[in-house]
Amino acid sequence: MGQRHCSASGRCAPGSACLTLCLPKAACSVLFDLKGRCSARSVSKNGASGSQAKGHSLSYSSCCLHADLPEVLQAFRAKGEAAVLATSGGDGGPLWAAACDLVEALLLGVRSHLQDVRTECELRLANEEPCSVDTDVVSLKVRFSAAPLIGEVATPSRFCHEVHLLEEVGFALRRPPTKTARDPLVLRVEGLELAELPEIPGLRRKIKTSLGSDFNIDTAYSWWLQHKDKEYPLDRSKFHRIYESLWGMRTMQMLPKQMSMDFFWSFLHGTNCHLEAFMFHHGKCSSRVRIAAQRGPGRNTEERELLAFSAPLAKQALAANRSNGERFAASVTNFGAMVYGRDIGQPPASARVITKIFSAARWWGHGPNGWQRFDHTWLCRDQTNSLGIVVKEQGRIIWRLPGESDSMRPPLEVRPPRRICCCRRRRSEGAS
């Protein structure tokens, strides 16, 4: 990325990329309008700009920055990396890399699916002066021209939430831990929410109304089995398709009934998840990064009551089924581990799996037959060969605008055919 100061007129040469982010004694706020209009200004710690920043000698001129979202993200990664390496040394590098991978997966995924959504970004750096642990060292704010942006997670992931990005989304690196500390690297989050499926609150109310004082796990599950096909048909119910994608498998039908009851009961009492921070940890293997999440309290009485009821259920299910869950429902299991793993003495989630959930899909579509023909996300899977070995991965989210139906967006790519050979080369390429 090029770096130069502008002329006295405040204009950069066409096509240039001008950054003045390493500013002594001042924070730098660079505003990017991704349609091409840009500006930069410096602000002091108390918010004054330019010459109004008392006690700070600013030695740079106003500039016009021509930058696209990838360049902004590159600057966010570079400035955060410098802060992490200065404080944590090489140990913090993989953690910050994983954090940036997650941020880029979300923002670049939206851009690839919703190209008409305009975006403004603000990149801000903290003072060079010593800062406390609660200080944001580098922060990125993104404002969307439409909100909320809705990310549907593919049905095969068995993830009973939608990913919502509000009008303004923010990510900020807290002061990294020192080289000798075992504290995690913290990425503060704003405007990223995991919303329960729209049909879940209505389903919960309907079952409660129908059963009255007899509402419990056994009666609720029996009600679901009796009414799911008529009142929540597979061609209209996302939750029913998620349920069927797991418990319709022959191998899962051999498991004790209690497991399917626990699955249904937990999802029935799920609620919105308001994320406040991600914490990145080193796993036992030096090359593996794990991620935990700080979940905010419910926004209303119902959310708080549901969270108080469902959290113990989720912890109990995670403690009993972590191993099998990571085999048959890796996405929802890792979500549980991200939120509750540390509370029960388990490792947090795999950062790779969580990033994959939050990444945009490249190809998707309806299944060929059965109930899968009603699900436009069924083909949103990794490409595998005839042995079931993954040869090409992809994300799990399909983004859409508010008011759009869940099947209006065409895939970005045609689904690749299953490769015949067990190696990564196509058969037609032949031997070298």
Of 179-188, 367-376, 385-394, the range with the lowest mean pLDDT is 179-188
Task: Write the pLDDT tens digit of every residue in 16-40.
Answer: 333 434 333 334 444 544 443 444 4
How far the first Cα of the chain sits from its last, in Å, is 38
pLDDT of residue 168: 96
Residue 304 tokens read as 């708080």
**Cβ–Cβ < 8 Å for 110, 165:** yes
The larger pLDDT score, comparing residue 405 to residue 204, is at 204
Q: Using one digit for the tens of pLDDT, what is the confidence trace for 273-294? A: 999 999 999 988 756 999 999 9
pTM tops 0.85: no
DSSP 12-81: PPTT--------TTSEEEEEEETTS-EEEEEE-TTS-BGGGSTT-------------HHHHHHHHHHHHH
- Mean pLDDT (whole number) for 160-187: 89
**Radius of gyration for the alpha carbons in the chain, expressed in angstroms and rounded:** 24
- How far apart CA 203 and CA 299 sit, in angstroms, is 21
Interatomic CA distance for residues 72 and 70, integer angstroms: 5
The pLDDT tens digits for 105-134 are: 999 999 999 999 999 988 988 765 445 556
Distance CA 92, CA 177 (A): 8
What residues contact residue 432 under an 8 Å CB cut-off, 6+ apart? Answer: none
Query: Buried b / exposed e across 359-396, counting CB within 10 Å, b at 16+?
Result: bbbbbbbebeeebbebbbbbbbbebebeeeeebeebbb
CB-based contact 64:11 (threshold 8 Å): yes
Q: How many CB atoms lie within 10 A of CB 422?
A: 11
According to the model, what pLDDT value does residue 132 have?
53
What does the mean pLDDT of the chain come to? 82
Residue that is written with structure tokens 């190809």 in the block:
363
Tell me the three state secondary structure of residue 411.
coil
Q: Is residue 59 over pLDDT 80? A: no
Query: With left for phi above 0 and alpha for psi between -120 and 50, is residue 10 left, alpha or beta?
Result: left
Joined together, the tokens standing for residue 75 give 């600057």
pLDDT reported for residue 181: 62
Q: What angle do CA 391, 397, 400 make, to 5 degrees?
A: 140
Q: Is 191 helix (H, G, I), strand (E, B) or coil?
A: strand
Q: Which residue has the higher pLDDT, 175 or 264?
A: 264
3-state secondary structure of 149: strand
Q: What are the start-end ranges of the E strands in 257-396?
A: 273-282, 289-295, 349-350, 383-384, 390-392
Q: Are 207 and 224 in contact (CB under 8 A)?
A: yes
HSE value, Cβ hemisphere, 13 Å, CA-based, for 379: 21
| DSSP code at position 298 | P
Neighbours of 262 (CB within 10 A): 18
- 246: phi then psi, degrees, rounded to nearest 5: -100, -55
Q: What is the pLDDT of residue 127?
A: 61
Alpha-carbon distance 173 to 131, whole Å? 12
Cα 41–chain centre separation: 30
Given the DSSP bridges, would you call strands 289-295 and 136-144 parallel, antiparallel or unpaired?
unpaired
The pLDDT tens digits for 63-80 are 333 357 888 999 999 999
Q: Where are the domains of the chain?
A: 63-196+272-296+328-358
In eight-state DSSP terms, residue 136 is E
